[in-house]
Amino acid sequence: MDSLFEDEEKLLMKIVHIASVIDRMTEQFAGGRGRATYLLAKKQAKEGHDVTVISAPNSQIDGCLSVSFIDPPRMSGIYVLDWFHRRIKETIHAVKAYSWLETDYEIVHNHVEYEGVGFSFLTKTPCITTLHGPIYSGYGQIPTRLYALPTRSKFIAYSKQAYAQFKRIYGRDLIGQIYGGIDVEVFPFVSEPDRFCDFQFCYVGRIVPVKGVHIAIEVVDRLKEKGYNVHLKVLGSYSPTRYFYSILHEIEKRPYVSFEVDARTPEVAWQLGNSDALLFPIRWEEVFGRVMIESMSCGTPIIAYNRGSTSEILRDGVTGFLCENINEMTEKMTRVHNLNRKECRKTVEKEFTMDVVYRNHLEIYKKVIDLN
């Protein structure tokens, strides 16, 4: 097998990605973890690899074979029921995926942290899992530890912060850390936003409490009370939850806050590029936060809570501001015009392009195959 890697530039592999059953892989609809899987598979296919992606129905990735076995779960908005329903669906999805695999794949790249890990023993093909989600505290770690028991997989962390956390669970099986990447051409640089007020801010992400959209609305309220002409654009995904509808109700009461549901990628790029900053007031240890590099690619700095990997992605005072609380965020939002939009773009071009991500994954694949 070592001979495969004598000339890395000419190395071609047969790769299969196992995505979540809820991740529909298309240019317009893949988001978060799905977007990461989509972009990596597309880049690998473009470089000449034979790539298969097992995901939700109606997925389509240029140059890749798309395979699906079951429909994704329907969400009810009741967290406990939805969690168990998804676990059942992901179990069926993972078992069918590993059982279907041919023996001549060189590497299985799994993106499902629970079932995709737990059922990896069903294949003899070398397997690597990207840990897209955070490690939970207390009882939240129980599923992670249980599913890890029978695994044959090795692991990649999404950030240095995540690597340190997951190392306690996976030990030597955690063999690397790779940041996510984006297609910078899809998120073009904007040197000066098309401004119609003093400050234009943007929130992009799921409408869930841990993402902090309610905090973004509150800090904009505070700036409005101070006399600033300010606008917040919220781009969020639909979710049938009480929190989602409460946020819609709050937005409807504020003419300086607007909302767009399930915006497609070109619209997200336009809104990010024409904002003074992305607001990222996360309330959990998010392992990466893809929207941060999408924003910086457009030249738009980030004002974020100092949690998860935010301190790894942005440079405080240069490409954004790190904040500890809502008062600090409110104050730093008025200083956003001092940040460097060109430096934001340069950071992404240096560290977060798909060329960088592609090369880093080839190195990890080599390590995993050498261990088998």
Two tokens, residue 167: 């190392």
Predicted local distance difference test score (pLDDT) of residue 9: 53
Considering only the top CATH level, what class is 2-181+353-371? alpha beta
Residue-wise pLDDT tens digits, 323-356: 999 999 999 999 999 999 999 999 999 999 999 9
For 50, other C-beta atoms within 10 Å of its C-beta total 17
Q: So what's the architecture of 199-351 in CATH?
A: 3-Layer(aba) Sandwich (3.40)
Confidence of residue 113 (pLDDT cuts 50, 70, 90): confident
> 2-181+353-371 and 199-351: same fold?
yes
Residue ranges per domain, the chain?
2-181+353-371, 199-351
Task: Return the pLDDT at 172.
Answer: 92
Average pLDDT over residues 272-298: 95
For the CA atoms of 184, 185, 191, 192, the dihedral, rounded to the nearest 10 degrees, stands at: -110
> For residues 210 and 282, is the Cβ–Cβ distance under 8 A?
yes
pLDDT of 109: 97
Query: Residue 3: is its pLDDT beyond 50?
Result: no
Instruction: Report percent pLDDT > 70 for the chain.
Output: 95
Asked if 142 contacts 254 with a C-beta cutoff of 8 angstroms, the reply is: no
Q: Find the helix or strand (DSSP H, E) in which 18 lies.
A: strand 14-18
